[in-house]
């Protein structure tokens, strides 16, 4: 992607920015978050909030060959609300947009901060960003999730989770997305250190829920049934 192929246009049109954000969240975030969390993000990036933010944020439309393909926002030295429409994803536009936004920030600041959600986390890590903190989102079904996660986290911290995996005698198969924020190495290597054999498949254009995702669900089903049939 050449630099002249992408143009950033400063905008005060909250309606078109909101439309881009809403469409992207509804099409992408369900592959990474429960429905309650998706609604949280829709509310967080509502048109009213975007319009309110225009007084203190630089809000850009992203244009490629005359088409509006996304949006990106600068707040002092922070990049936030970066969205590429689903039909334009997978073409390197997100990385090119980051190049342009970072260049603007570096004119005035020595460091860049980003407010990242799971769908974009892997891109930021590849660009050399470091995770400073995570934020927890409370959802309608959060009680059950929190209970299960606390139990799993306790087992992991004590080492009992790996110990229990070490007792497994049947074949293990890991089917995971290439852009899953939980890297497959974090599962495979600890198990192999315990002499647990595991076969792994990594699916392209796929996040944390391959059985639901547009570009991966057919391949996920093929791999799953192939393994079940032995």
| Average confidence (pLDDT) per 10 residues, the chain, 230 residues | 75 96 90 77 91 92 96 94 93 92 96 84 82 65 52 73 78 86 76 83 85 84 87
Rounded to a whole number of angstroms, the distance between the first and last alpha carbons of the chain is: 44
pLDDT of residue 211: 82
Cβ burial of 202 (10 Å; 0-12, 13-18, 19+) is: middle
Determine the pLDDT at residue 188: 81
> Which residues pair with residue 84 across a beta bridge?
70
**pLDDT value at residue 1:** 42
Question: Of 192, 191, 197, 198, nearest to 164 (Cα)?
Answer: 191
**81 φ, ψ (degrees, to nearest 5):** 50, 55
Query: Which pTM was predicted?
Result: 0.60
Exposed / middle / buried, residue 83 (Cβ in 10 Å: 0-12, 13-18, 19+): buried
Please state, in angstroms and rounded to a whole number, the distance separating the CA atoms of residues 206 and 31.
9
187 neighbors 152 (Cβ within 8 angstroms): no
Of residues 69, 135, 121, the one with CA closest to residue 100: 69
pLDDT of residue 149: 58
Q: How far apart, in whole angstroms, are the C-alpha atoms of residue 36 and residue 25?
A: 12
- CA distances (Å), origin 43, targets 46, 50, 59, 84, 160: 5, 10, 18, 19, 39
């Amino acid at each position: 992607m050449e630099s002249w192929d992408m143009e950033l246009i400063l905008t005060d049109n909250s309606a078109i920015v909101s439309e881009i954000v809403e469409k992207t969240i509804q099409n992408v975030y369900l592959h990474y978050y429960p429905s309650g969390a998706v609604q949280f993000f829709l509310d967080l990036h509502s048109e009213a909030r975007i319009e309110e933010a225009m007084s203190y944020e630089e809000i850009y439309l992203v244009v490629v060959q005359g088409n509006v393909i996304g949006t990106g926002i600068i707040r002092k030295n922070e990049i936030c609300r970066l969205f590429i429409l689903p039909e334009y994803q997978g073409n390197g536009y997100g990385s090119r947009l980051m190049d342009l936004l970072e260049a603007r920030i570096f004119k005035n600041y020595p460091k860049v901060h980003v407010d990242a959600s799971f769908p974009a986390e892997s891109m930021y890590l590849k660009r050399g960003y470091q995770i400073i903190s995570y934020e927890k989102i409370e959802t309608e079904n959060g009680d059950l999730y929190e209970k299960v996660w606390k139990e799993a986290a306790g087992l992991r911290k004590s080492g009992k989770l790996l110990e229990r995996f070490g007792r497994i005698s049947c074949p293990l198969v890991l089917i995971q997305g290439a852009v899953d924020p939980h890297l497959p190495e974090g599962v495979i290597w600890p198990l192999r250190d315990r002499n647990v054999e595991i076969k792994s498949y990594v699916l392209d254009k796929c996040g944390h829920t391959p059985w639901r995702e547009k570009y991966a669900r057919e391949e996920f089903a093929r791999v799953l049934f192939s393994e079940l049939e032995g």
